[in-house]
């Protein structure tokens, strides 16, 4: 379950992840590391078959520069299909409802905390529903770009 004060994720069989989890705490042969254009080192480590409140989850822990940045989870109990071709929007929306119910039971309506924030979503572009625990503050929304209404045939500028 999610510790409201600590952000600690406790799964059955004594498996935990929390804001203090470090990349070095896990087998270095697991996961695919890469560096981004900004010089950050990233690594995703996947954990299959972790149980949480009787539901089986697939878990991906995302590390940035050695420290945990995010945990992405997908409830997989009673698999809806065996591969990406089997994922359907209707099934994924049902999975999202399961994720929402788990969060509601664990946290009520609160989703922002001192240690980070959580969300449940369905991304049509990717085609799956996930439950995410972000360690760190929610980013500020980016302002909408201002588009100037220019009339055709009128050239603006100084000559």
- pLDDT tens string 108-150: 989 999 999 999 999 988 888 999 999 988 777 777 777 776 5
Six token digits for residue 36 = 């981004």
Asked whether the beta carbons of 56 and 64 are under 8 A apart, the reply is no
Domain coordinates of the chain in residue numbers? 9-135
Six token digits for residue 72 = 């992405």
Q: Give the model's pLDDT for residue 122.
A: 94
Q: How far apart are CA 132 and CA 72, in angstroms?
A: 4
- Comparing 155 with 64, the larger pLDDT belongs to 64
């Amino acid at each position: 379950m999610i510790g409201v004060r600590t952000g600690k994720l406790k799964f059955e069989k004594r498996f935990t992840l929390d804001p203090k989890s470090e990349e070095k705490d896990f087998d270095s042969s697991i996961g695919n590391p890469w560096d981004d254009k900004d010089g950050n080192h990233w690594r995703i480590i996947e954990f299959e078959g972790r149980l949480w409140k009787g539901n089986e989850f697939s878990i991906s822990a995302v590390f940035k520069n050695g420290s945990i940045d995010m945990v992405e989870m997908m409830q997989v109990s009673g698999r809806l299909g065996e591969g990406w071709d089997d994922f359907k929007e209707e099934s994924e929306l049902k999975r999202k409802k399961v994720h929402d119910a788990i969060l509601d039971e664990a946290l009520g309506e609160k989703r922002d905390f001192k240690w980070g924030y959580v969300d449940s979503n369905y991304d049509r572009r990717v085609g799956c529903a996930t439950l995410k625990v972000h360690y760190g503050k929610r980013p500020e929304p980016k302002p909408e770009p201002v588009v100037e209404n220019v009339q055709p045939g009128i050239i603006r500028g100084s000559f």
